[in-house]
Structure 1
Amino acid sequence: MKLLITGSNGLLGQKLVALLSRQAGVQLVATSRGKNKLAALYPEVTFVGLDVTDRAQVQRVLAAERPTHLIHTAAMTNVDECEQHQEACWQHNVAATEYMVEACEQQNIHLLHVSTDFIFSGEQGPLSEEAVPAPVNYYGESKLAAEKAVQACRAPWAILRTVLVYGTAHEYGRTNIVLWVRDSLRANKPIQVVSDQLRTPTLAEDLAQGCWLAAKHNATGIYHLSGAELLTPYLMALQVAQYFGLDATLIEKVDASTFTQPARRPLRTGFIITKAQKDLGYQPRTFAEGIALLAQQTEAAA
């Protein structure tokens, strides 16, 4: 199996490189825009620069590398930036996916596309793969349009949807709920955390494992890959405070109306992951186990 990853500098991309570089029988090609952040960590992994919004470049790279499977993780995922910069969002999330579909059809490459719970309205959850999408923001609209492009692909395809991915990565500027809560409370800084949103938070390592299982099983169709626990961000914050022995009284419970954000968030999502568990053998860690892994990774690096 020859497996090409887009977005290898991102959080999921880095976890996929770490996981797949250890798999016997896998020839791995990592691609991303800009320099390879993992060059020193995984010098044995082939890296090719790729701007997924450049159709000619996508055609050229996939024709040259001829992978059997492609895991498309590259996307514009900052929800508020997508709302404010809709043209760039469409280029990165929809046009880029259309270029992947076109190239995969030409080379008969199995396309595995990473999508999101934000394609849903948030009126109910947790959601199965059969739930009807109805996005409430532009990011969700773009990811739904990308899904439709993938579903029209004449090569084998799978859509792998996920929820609130958290983790830590090399030279990665963005934070996540676990580190944000830990670092704020360590600094004795009061924080406001919403209690009226429901999610099934997903450890990045678990999502990478799910993507690999889908590729290994030549899975087709739609799969939900997330954690198994339905939690509010407030409950997540309390677990973080408890794990690190920090002052939970600094955490103020609020609702989403407290914050003014350019993009609406769906209130209730979260996924039912039974299909992935049964078909792929997907087994995510608990949120407590995810906190412990992040603690181990970040304390070791400190």
Structure 2
Amino acid sequence: MRSKKGKILITGANGLLGQKLVKLISEDDNFELIPSGLGESRLPISWGVEKWEKLDICVESQVMAIFEKLKPDFVIHTAAMTNVDQCEEYKEECKELNIQAVLNLVKACEKFGSHLIHLSTDFIFDGNEGPYHEEAKANPVNFYGWTKLEAENIILNSGIDSAIVRTVLVYGIANDMSRSNIILWVKDALEKGKQINLVNDQVRTPTLAEDLAEGCFLIVKHGAKGVYNISGKDVLTPYQMALATAEFFNLDKSLILESDSSKFKQKAKRPMKTGFYIDKAKKDLGYNPKSFMDGIGILAKQIKLADS
């Protein structure tokens, strides 16, 4: 017999999205939360999350053992290799984390009847015709995008209860401040009086990590299935994001130089114009993301709290 509370297993719970999900779900008494990760928990003690499962999702026997023990109703799969250039360089490791791990989770979900919510990306598209609807034809231009599309296909062809959550350029602050994002990077550089170059020929819909967590949780609450675009609502270039950041923090915009992608050499090719239409998530789930400027405001408050 399953408990009356819906059990939610989160993979990659130490990551940025994982942490936001843990914080959000732990405050809802209708669900039993089971965070997991490769190492020890880095979650704040103040959150009062007592459970933690050490789990290597690349090892099928470990995945099966966790599902046997916990029998989760939902699995929110956030763990992945997401550094696009590293994926290009370390293809086998990328396949292991982004494809084999998904195969393991799908097998476990098949056996135990769990509903899988899988995080995917705008990088499954070539960037020629963005922003994209859910039905748009995928055509990845780098290895990372290819592995994420393979994972989507494995899930969608499996027959398990599932939802694919596609997102774009996630920004936010993790509890341990372990990773930067475009807003923190721009703020730090301008405060130090450094000139910075930002491209004006790539388009994204930047996504606040809290909004992405809310979107995933809404899918759980609705028991939603299928593909959902869960991103921010503002269509912006990195150059425009930098200007907005400078404006919010009242920093010198003249230090921000407009550039284009041809000036930057990166191992992996990037899609030029992505971003998402989010009408389906708004209609089906009641998803309502913050504006980019409001997102900067939320980060500003979190920076103050971290510094205090």
The equivalent position to 1:143 in structure 2, one of 148, 158, 163, is 148
Where does the alignment leave 5 or more consecutive residues of structure 1 unmatched?
A: none
Alignment map for 1:94-109 (pairs within 5 Å) = 94-109=99-114
- Do residues 219 (structure 1) and 253 (structure 2) align? no
Contact 1:28 1:45 in 2 (8 A): no
Q: Deviations over 1:1-45 (max 9, x none)?
A: 111100000000000000000012100000011110015233334
Alignment map for 1:1-302 (pairs within 5 Å) = 1-38=6-43, 40-302=45-307
1:122 and 1:155 map into 2 onto residues whose CA distance is 30
Aligned to 2:141, the other structure's residue is in SS state coil
1:159 and 1:300 map into 2 onto residues whose CA distance is 33
Deviation at 1:152, TM superposition (A): 1.8
Question: So what's the TM-score if we normalise by structure 1?
Answer: 0.99
Q: Greater CA deviation, 32-41 or 219-228?
A: 32-41
- In structure 1, what residue type is equivalent to 2:122? D
Q: Deviations over 1:168-194 (max 9, x none)?
A: 012242210010000110011111101
Contact 1:193 1:252 in 2 (8 A): yes
1:42 and 1:151 map into 2 onto residues whose CA distance is 35
Contact 1:21 1:45 in 2 (8 A): no
Q: Deviations over 1:51-90 (max 9, x none)?
A: 1111111111111110100000000000000010000000
List, as ranges, runs of 4+ consecutive aligned residues in structure 1 with deviation greater than 6 Å. Answer: none
Contact 1:121 1:136 in 2 (8 A): yes
Q: Give the paired residue count.
A: 302
1:299 and 1:190 map into 2 onto residues whose CA distance is 25
Contact 2:44 2:175 in 1 (8 A): no
- In structure 1, what residue type is equivalent to 2:266? Q
Aligned to 1:291, the other structure's residue is in SS state helix
Question: So what's the TM-score if we normalise by structure 2?
Answer: 0.97
Cα RMSD (Å): 0.8
Deviation at 1:300, TM superposition (A): 1.6
Q: Which residue of structure 1 aligns with residue 3 of structure 2?
A: none
Q: Greater CA deviation, 171-180 or 136-145?
A: 171-180
1:63 and 1:21 map into 2 onto residues whose CA distance is 23
2:46 and 2:137 map into 1 onto residues whose CA distance is 41
1:41 and 1:35 map into 2 onto residues whose CA distance is 16
